[in-house]
């Protein structure tokens, strides 16, 4: 095992925040009991939300698919236990917006009966077939990016030469990957071997920060026990070494071209926890039902917990002994890139890798911001080589085009710039704002383009109809005299229409009688105008 | 003297001919500026600007007959883009115009009599239905122009604000006191 | 609502940055007080008070809160740099005019902290040297050479009471002044060096102060407040330009060492050209910015009308800084070449 043989290529910038790993990394992973109620969000991954395939009242088994992947970039979701679907509707979820999202509520029956599971015989499968089978399993990247794994396992156009396992875990506080590698290195590596088979990768690397010597030893031991040719590479502890692009740069010196994927340069990166869940999916036939979550910070018993997806976060907090009295709130994910949890009722979803109980001592309130003095500390800290203060100036002025020209979309939102800013400016918040505004503008641009097309088509259609009508009239005029207002047929239609309006009015009054009492003259006039228009329209229709 | 006049006249003629040829040869069909302006406008076709649709408004702006701040659905961002395109200063939304949150029209199914008046009013064919049949608005297509509300003889169309959803959610502008003006201080002359 | 990151690096603030810069100025200032008399403390104190006063007035006028901005230390640093740049023992009104321009015009009229396109202290200095050149050449003589070095009390009286030009008894022409005058008079450089005001490599006293500025500046680099680019490029350009001229005509032009350790070059290289607000921010931009500033400094010294050129060269380059920055954007991860965001 060569832990140091590989020449590392440092990425620029980076920071050294306090690690706070020891709080939670010394305790073995703890399992969770069966709870009575689970809430499974249909959107737990990047891409389209899953489409429900069971109804309220249906009985489901553990591992049964309850939401199917909707489209290519999507992932299935599964029932965490056996029971009954009691509701499908919006529920609070762990998301920075704090907005509710569509979830399925499952009331456990206590039997925890499983569907029949069959391992996948991956050795005989062509790479593409394995990816297709995995699409049913709901696997997503568990490092936080929650990108559907089956998409990443499809054969890439140029082939994959290097598979990188990401065990860097550079965010402070989080230790779930550390514990996983210490305790389940064997299974994790077996998953990695399947990945390598599927991708046809020649090299298998595991990047891991040098603050996790026990995990390094465990993986190295498991690799030699399995006879798996791979390199376990210790990288210096420096945030954000666990960023996919940064880890690729560290280990290979290659850069993923802007706007492209790592597969374009023949590299694929998976989180170690994803490799582990892939092992379970393939070798055991079990879809993604659980994940390991670090619960730490101001809690009584910090540690790592293996918990079913859909478990309300408040249950998980109870497992960790509950929050200490001086805690202030909860962070989901690490303190560098995570977000504040708005409601602990929200369930654990595939992207929830860490929960941190905050307090004023651990996370002092942000000091008031001062103007930017262009000191350049942010540029020194930026791992991507951006000029964050320039992007900030333009994002703040809502000058999105300019911010874009400073490569706003190459920003990985790692938070290094905000961390080091002596003026305490929330830089990343400005970038997130600018990015989502640009995305919204693009959405509305698409919508308005579609609207223009439909409007233009309507204009064309009306013109065509007018011409056709003119031609018809012209032909008819030759045959018989034009219809007049006292045409008995028109009067009959008018009477029918009036009757219908009366009925509708009556129906409306029945529903909403308030409207008649407070008719202002303006409204009455409006009604009269509508009547006039309607009659005009009615006569036009009859012609 | 006469020679000089002759030369100048000849140059004038030649240049004039070149210009004339260039005008004919490099003639631009339509007005590209109108297209560019129209591309910025939100295509709600709502007529709040006082023109019968986005294109007429774009034409009026191009001719200099209308101001750039007459489009409430385009909002601040739209005005800014127009200002950039035309090289003028952005300005606040015109008087009497209010920017409303994005809404879509919905038809009360119990009240609709199937008169098709709203279908005729809709500028983007977002309403489907036939005579004496219940009409339905395709929410994805509705631009929220409200043009269908007034014609309905039975007032069964109402506007509903599109709620913020997870996939349309946007990060907010960081509301952080970058300029900590003391609350007690009157911001006199603050620039 | 403010999102991640939720941890900020500890002991990190604008005030701390400014304090570090002032701490780095301290050795040079102490040497100045030792070698040129304690009058510098008087001008430092008065400049500090004046600058804070102007800053407070400007903040009030603009409707800003006083506390966060007065305590950020930026105005004190401006005052300090200004006090080191203008002659000690000059009348108070001279300081007041200089600082009025530095703080109110150069800083606050352009939007306050972080917004000034020009280095405020240098704007104050430039206004004074253009408007009151006679006052600006009256530098106190080194203690060794002075007929009479004023003590603290005397210095107070001179600054507060006088209002006129500082008496000749206390002052002398600076080495750069002397060099300029004598070179213009056609004197050989070696006879010029024989003047008592010249020291070992620069001016008597001044060379020591310059070395301590260099030391403080290196400390600033070590504490990562500034990067190496600007000082290195500035000093290299000064040395190369002066060296080139010296090689062309050794009898007429002083050598690179003299230029490096006289006048405001060391102060400028580490403390003035490095002002992040008005300087370039990209690595390559910093090299171009400071290199050109160093070049212009020597050109002004040798061919210009003013004895020193640091202030003007920095101000000239301040104008060009945004443009240089725009064309020297560093390469971003995943991009082939360093693509410049065109303006």
Q: What is the pLDDT of residue C187?
A: 83
The mean per-residue pLDDT over the stretch A363-388 comes to: 92
Q: What is the pLDDT of residue C104?
A: 94
Calpha distance B152→B105 (Å, rounded): 12
The torsion of the CA quartet C332, C335, C339, C341, rounded to 10 degrees, works out to: -60
* C38-93 per-position pLDDT tens digit: 889 999 999 999 999 999 999 999 988 888 888 889 999 999 999 999 988 888 99
| Residue of chain C whose Cα is closest to the Cα of A338 | C4
C61 and B189 in contact by Cβ < 8 A? yes
Quick one: what percent of chain A has pLDDT higher than 90?
69
A367 and C13 in contact by Cβ < 8 A? yes
Q: What ipTM, to 2 d.p.? A: 0.88
CA distance C64 to chain B (A): 5
Q: Which of B150, B118, B152, B111 is nearest to A505 (CA)?
A: B111
* pLDDT confidence tier of residue A522, bands split at 50, 70 and 90: low
Q: Which of A80, A77, A86 is nearest to A112 (CA)?
A: A80
The torsion of the CA quartet A311, A313, A315, A319, rounded to 10 degrees, works out to: 110
Calpha distance A282→B85 (Å, rounded): 56
The mean per-residue pLDDT over the stretch C23-47 comes to: 92
CA distance A415 to chain B (A): 15
> If 0-12 CB within 10 Å is exposed, 13-18 middle and 19+ buried, where does residue A525 land?
exposed
Contact B152, A531 (CB under 8 A): no
Residues 6+ apart with CB under 8 A from A314: A344, A345
* C125-172 per-position pLDDT tens digit: 999 999 998 888 888 888 777 766 777 877 888 777 765 666 666 778
Query: Average pLDDT, whole number, for chain A?
Result: 88
Q: What is the pLDDT of residue A509?
A: 57
Q: What is the pLDDT of residue C76?
A: 95
Q: What is the pLDDT of residue B39?
A: 86
Q: What is the pLDDT of residue A30?
A: 93
Q: Strands, DSSP E only, in A210-353? A: 231-235, 267-271, 290-297, 303-308, 329-332, 339-340
The mean per-residue pLDDT over the stretch B167-179 comes to: 74
C6 and A335 in contact by Cβ < 8 A? yes
Q: What is the pLDDT of residue C192?
A: 81
CA distance A21 to chain B (A): 30
Calpha distance C274→C294 (Å, rounded): 12
The mean per-residue pLDDT over the stretch C259-286 comes to: 94
How many inter-chain contacts (A to C, CB under 8 Å) are there? 144
Judge whether residue A542 has pLDDT over 60: no
- pTM assigned to the model: 0.84
Query: Average pLDDT, whole number, for chain C?
Result: 89
Residues of B within 8 A of A93 (CB-CB) are: 166
Q: Which residue has the higher pLDDT, C340 or A70?
A: A70
A338 and C6 in contact by Cβ < 8 A? yes
Q: What is the pLDDT of residue C139?
A: 84
Q: What are the CA-CA distances from residue B136 to residues A193, B126, B146 (Å)?
A: 54, 9, 15
Neighbours of B (≥3 Cβ pairs closer than 8 A)?
A: A, C
Q: What is the pLDDT of residue C200?
A: 80
Calpha distance B50→B62 (Å, rounded): 15
Residues of A within 8 A of C14 (CB-CB) are: 370, 373, 422-423
* A136-176 per-position pLDDT tens digit: 899 999 988 899 999 999 888 888 999 999 999 999 999 99
* pLDDT confidence tier of residue A487, bands split at 50, 70 and 90: low
Residues 6+ apart with CB under 8 A from C264: C85, C272, C308, C310, C311
């Amino acid at each position: 095992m060569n832990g140091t043989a590989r020449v590392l290529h440092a990425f620029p910038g980076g920071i050294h925040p306090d690690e706070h790993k020891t709080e939670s990394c010394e305790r073995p992973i703890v399992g969770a009991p069966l709870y009575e109620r689970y809430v499974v969000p249909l959107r737990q991954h990047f891409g389209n939300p899953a489409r429900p395939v069971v109804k309220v009242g249906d009985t489901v088994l553990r591992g049964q698919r309850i939401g199917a992947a909707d489209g290519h970039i999507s992932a299935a979701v599964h029932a965490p236990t056996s029971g009954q679907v009691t509701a499908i509707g919006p529920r609070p979820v762990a998301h920075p917006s704090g907005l509710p999202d569509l979830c399925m509520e499952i009331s456990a029956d206590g039997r925890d009966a499983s569907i029949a599971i069959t391992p996948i015989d991956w050795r005989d499968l062509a790479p593409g077939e394995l990816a297709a089978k995995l699409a049913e399993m709901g696997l997503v990247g568990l490092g936080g990016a929650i990108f559907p794994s089956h998409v990443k396992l499809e054969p890439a156009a140029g082939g994959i030469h290097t598979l990188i396992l990401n065990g860097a875990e550079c965010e402070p506080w989080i230790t779930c990957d550390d514990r996983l590698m210490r305790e389940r290195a064997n299974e994790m590596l077996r998953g990695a071997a399947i990945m390598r088979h599927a991708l046809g990768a020649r090299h298998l690397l595991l990047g891991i920060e040098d603050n996790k010597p026990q995990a390094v030893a465990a993986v190295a031991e498991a690799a030699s026990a399995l006879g798996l040719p791979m390199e376990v590479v210790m990288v210096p502890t420096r945030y954000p070494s666990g960023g996919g692009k940064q880890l690729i740069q560290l280990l290979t010196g290659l850069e993923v071209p802007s706007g492209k994927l790592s597969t374009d340069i023949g590299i694929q990166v998976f989180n170690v926890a994803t490799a582990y869940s892939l092992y379970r999916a393939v070798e055991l036939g079990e879809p993604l039902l659980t994940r390991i979550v670090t619960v730490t910070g101001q809690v009584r018993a910090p540690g790592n917990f293996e918990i079913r997806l859909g478990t309300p976060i408040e249950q998980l907090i109870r497992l960790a002994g509950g929050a200490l009295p001086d805690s202030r709130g909860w962070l989901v994910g690490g303190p560098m890139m995570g977000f504040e949890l708005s409601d602990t009722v929200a369930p654990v979803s595939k992207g929830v890798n860490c929960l941190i109980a905050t307090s004023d001592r651990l996370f002092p309130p942000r000091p008031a911001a001062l103007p930017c003095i262009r000191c350049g500390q942010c540029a020194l800290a930026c791992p991507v080589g951006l000029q964050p203060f320039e992007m900030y100036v333009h994002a703040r002025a809502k000058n999105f085009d300019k911010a874009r020209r400073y490569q706003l979309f190459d920003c990985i939102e790692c938070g290094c710039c905000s961390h080091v800013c002596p003026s305490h400016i929330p830089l990343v918040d400005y970038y997130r704002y600018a990015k989502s505004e640009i995305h919204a503008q693009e959405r509305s641009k698409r919508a308005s383009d579609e609207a223009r097309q439909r409007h233009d088509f309507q204009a064309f259609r009306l013109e065509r109809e007018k011409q056709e009508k003119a031609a018809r009239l012209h032909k008819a005029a030759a045959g018989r005299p034009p219809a007049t207002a006292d045409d008995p047929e028109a009067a009959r239609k008018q009477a029918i229409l009036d009757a219908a309006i009366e009925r509708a009015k009556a129906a409306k009054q029945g529903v909403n009688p308030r409207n008649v009492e407070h008719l202002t003259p303006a409204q009455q006039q409006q009604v009269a105008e509508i009547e006039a228009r309607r009659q005009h329209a009615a006569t036009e229709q009859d012609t | 003297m006469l020679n000089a006049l002759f030369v100048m006249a000849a140059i004038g003629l030649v240049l004039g001919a070149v210009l004339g040829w260039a005008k004919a040869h490099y003639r631009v069909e339509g007005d590209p500026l109108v297209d560019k302006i129209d591309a910025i406008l939100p295509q709600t076709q709502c007529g709040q600007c006082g023109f019968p649709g986005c294109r007429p408004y774009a034409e009026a702006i191009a001719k200099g007959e209308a101001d750039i701040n007459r489009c409430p659905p385009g909002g601040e961002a739209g005005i800014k883009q127009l200002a950039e395109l035309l090289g003028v200063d952005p300005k606040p939304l015109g008087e009497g115009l209010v920017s409303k949150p994005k809404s879509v029209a919905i038809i009360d199914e119990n009240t609709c009599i199937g008169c098709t008046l709203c279908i005729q009013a809709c500028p983007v064919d977002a309403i489907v239905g036939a005579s004496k049949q219940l009409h339905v608005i395709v929410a994805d297509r509705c631009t929220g122009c409200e043009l269908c509300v007034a014609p309905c003889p039975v007032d069964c169309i109402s506007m509903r604000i599109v709620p913020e959803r997870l996939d349309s959610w946007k990060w907010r502008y960081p509301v952080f006191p970058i300029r900590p003006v003391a609350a007690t201080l009157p911001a006199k002359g603050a620039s | 609502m403010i999102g991640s990151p939720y941890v900020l690096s500890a002991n990190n603030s604008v005030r701390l940055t400014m304090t570090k810069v002032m701490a780095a100025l301290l050795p040079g200032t102490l040497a100045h007080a030792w070698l040129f008399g304690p009058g510098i403390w008087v001008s430092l104190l008065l400049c500090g008070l004046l600058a804070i006063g102007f800053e407070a007035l400007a903040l009030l006028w603009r409707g800003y809160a006083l506390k966060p901005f007065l305590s950020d230390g930026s105005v004190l640093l401006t005052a300090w740099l200004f006090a080191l740049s203008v002659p000690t023992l000059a009348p108070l009104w001279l300081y007041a005019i200089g600082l009025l321009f530095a703080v109110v015009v150069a800083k606050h009229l352009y939007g306050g902290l972080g917004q000034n396109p020009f280095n405020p202290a240098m704007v104050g200095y430039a206004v004074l040297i253009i408007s009151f050149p006679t006052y600006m050449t009256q530098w106190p003589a080194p203690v060794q050479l002075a007929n009479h070095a004023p003590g603290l009390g005397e210095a107070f009286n001179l600054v507060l009471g006088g209002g006129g030009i500082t008496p000749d008894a206390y002052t002398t022409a600076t080495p750069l002044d002397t060099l300029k005058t004598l070179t213009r008079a056609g004197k050989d450089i070696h006879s010029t060096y024989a003047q008592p005001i010249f020291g070992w490599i620069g001016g008597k006293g001044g060379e020591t102060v310059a070395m301590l500025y260099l030391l403080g500046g290196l400390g600033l680099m070590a504490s990562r407040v500034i990067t190496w680019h600007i000082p290195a490029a500035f000093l290299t350009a000064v040395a190369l330009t002066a060296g080139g001229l010296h090689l062309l005509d050794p009898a007429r032009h002083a050598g690179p060492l003299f230029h490096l350790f006289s006048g405001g070059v060391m102060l400028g290289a580490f403390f003035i050209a490095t002002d992040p607000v008005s300087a370039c921010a990209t690595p390559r931009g910093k090299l171009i910015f400071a290199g050109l500033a160093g070049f212009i400094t020597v050109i002004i010294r040798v061919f210009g009308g003013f004895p020193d050129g640091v202030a003007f060269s920095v101000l000239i380059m301040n104008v060009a800084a945004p443009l240089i920055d725009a064309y020297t954007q560093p390469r971003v991860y995943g991009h082939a070449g360093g693509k410049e965001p065109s303006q």
